[in-house]
Structure 1
Amino acid sequence: MSKIKLPPAALVLVADGRKALFLRNAGDEVFPNLVVARAYKDDNPPTREQGTDRPGRVHESSTSRRSQVETTDWHVVEEQRFIETTADSLKRYVEDEDVKNIVIIAPPRVIGDLRGTLADSVRRQVLTEIEKDLTNQPTYEIEKYFTEPRPGN
């Protein structure tokens, strides 16, 4: 069991598909003090509220059979767009603030999506990724990931 060392001025991105928090370590490695630098929240209602069209139909030319076309999940589409926007915001923040160390905390699917959209310059600064959804946790709970030993880290 070990704890993650968070250098001073490091950036912690806590995100899911609808909310992103940029937290800076105003403390040191022993006593991190996470301060909210930026926060983004996306208004992403359920798919049933975003689209009301009936699913399309496909008519096969060789028979009289018809098949239903799967409907688009607008909620998932919007989450993907938000993750791309978060990656762009992270890139600008890293460049503007000269960030050298980044920790990403997000659910596994979001981390996977972020990996595919992060710029190489940002990816090189990532110290570690924590596969947890902590977007609705207070900052003192998030700080515990850097002060208390964790199994497997």
Structure 2
Amino acid sequence: MTEAFNLKIPHGGYVLVGDGRRALVLRNEGHALHVSLKVQHLFEAPPNPPTREQGTDRPPRVRQGEHRSAIAQTDWHEIAEHRFAEEVAATLDRIADAIPALIVVAPPRALASLRHALSDRLKHVVIAEIDKDLTKLPIEEIGQRLTRR
């Protein structure tokens, strides 16, 4: 069974559907009762291999008296996903005055990164945040899932 969210996306409202590697910015060219989402922008991140493939260093150790402890290794994969979210948010911020409403749809980690990267202007127009990965769905199905009653 597919999940429906019963949202009303106003005419001209935007939907950001993304994950840590891909993002779609969609605009509702229809109206709230008959949604017609059109792609405004597509973001594709460059290849981002797992951290274990990006670094070979062992975690450093710190000595405090007779005790030794390891410092957590840098997660390069996660850093790249945060940078990608910042790039998407910066592009949206350039057109923030033209966005009457924004719905953000992303898996939980990507949603947190996007939430942190959005400017205050954009945060004020966010009408819904949905923690789902819909990036691989056709655009028509994204609209149906968001507005199904």
TM-score class, shorter: 0.7 to 0.9
Report how far residue 87 of structure 1 moved. Answer: 1.4
> What are the ranges of 5 or more consecutive residues in structure 2 without an aligned counterpart?
none
Q: One-letter code of the match for 1:46?
A: P
Matching residue of 1:49: 53
**1:10-25 counterparts in 2 under 5 A?**
10-25=13-28
Matching residue of 1:140: 140
* Alpha-carbon separation, structure 2, partners of 1:49 and 1:14: 28
* Alpha-carbon separation, structure 2, partners of 1:58 and 1:141: 52
Does the 8 Å CA contact 2:106/2:130 hold for their aligned counterparts?
yes
1:130–1:82 Cα change, 3 Å: same
| Count of residues in Structure 1 that have an aligned counterpart in Structure 2 | 145
Does the 8 Å CA contact 1:3/1:147 hold for their aligned counterparts?
yes
Q: Which of 82, 85, 110 is the aligned partner of 2:84? A: 82
* Alpha-carbon separation, structure 2, partners of 1:128 and 1:67: 43
Matching residue of 1:9: 12
Displacement over 4 Å in runs of 4+: none
TM-score by length of 2: 0.86
Report how far residue 83 of structure 1 moved. Answer: 1.3
Per the alignment, in what secondary structure is the counterpart of residue 37 of structure 1?
Answer: strand
Matching residue of 1:101: 101
Q: One-letter code of the match for 1:112?
A: A
| Higher CA-based Rg | 1
Does the 8 Å CA contact 1:32/1:143 hold for their aligned counterparts?
yes
Report how far residue 2 of structure 1 moved. Answer: 6.9
> What are the ranges of 5 or more consecutive residues in structure 1 without an aligned counterpart?
none
Does the 8 Å CA contact 2:101/2:127 hold for their aligned counterparts?
yes
* Alpha-carbon separation, structure 2, partners of 1:76 and 1:14: 19
RMSD value over aligned CA atoms? 1.9
Say if 2:118 is the partner of 1:118: yes
Q: One-letter code of the match for 1:10?
A: G
Per the alignment, in what secondary structure is the counterpart of residue 79 of structure 2?
Answer: helix
